[in-house]
Amino acid sequence: MLSVLGWAAFVLGLLIGLIIIPFGLPGTFVIAGVALIAGIFTGFHPIGWKLLAFLFGLSVLVEVVEYLLSAVAAKKYGSSRWGMWGAILGGFAFAIWATPISPFIGTVFGAFIGAFLGAFFFEWLRFGDVGRAFRSGWGAFLGALGGRLLKFLAALVMVTLIAFTLL
């Protein structure tokens, strides 16, 4: 069994995983990693390989879906492939660019604003229509926001599964 300090570190690790998601950081992987460490310390009982495989698989899935949602939402708002690629590239590039400005807040706003600007700019370059470009950018922004929310909900599911496994 883990000591009291070990349990406190375990719970703190899960909370950190949840807290960092809104800032664009891979909190689902932190949660899965904390579960793996707990599994190692407990001889993989009750946290076993099946649960760990599920946690890491879900982490990969939500990371991919988070980025793709910007493109899908941009498409739903009338974007071409140009705007969809702009949403993905803009969200990623602006998140990286804004991180040194403010490691947490900059990353979040960089991803959302970058998705909007990337879709807007690529769509505007392709068609020269500001209205169409704005709709595409708005869709990309909403998709980025939805992706982050989906990732947070997946993390809550992960923490809940871990908690029920331990009870």
Handedness of CA 88, 86, 79, 148 (dihedral sign): positive
Q: What is the pLDDT of residues 5-28, one digit of tens each?
A: 888 999 999 999 999 888 778 899
pLDDT in tens, 89-131: 998 898 888 878 877 778 788 888 999 999 999 999 999 999 9
Quote the domain boundaries for residue 8.
4-166
Structural domain total, the chain:
1
Q: Is the pLDDT of residue 1 over 70?
A: no
Long-range contacts of 122-129, Cβ-Cβ distance < 8 Å, separation of 24 or more: 122/82, 122/83, 122/85, 122/86, 122/89, 122/90, 123/74, 123/79, 123/80, 123/82, 123/83, 123/86, 125/82, 126/80, 126/82, 126/83, 127/80
Instruction: State the average pLDDT over residues 46-58.
Output: 96
Total Cβ atoms within 10 A of residue 167 = 6
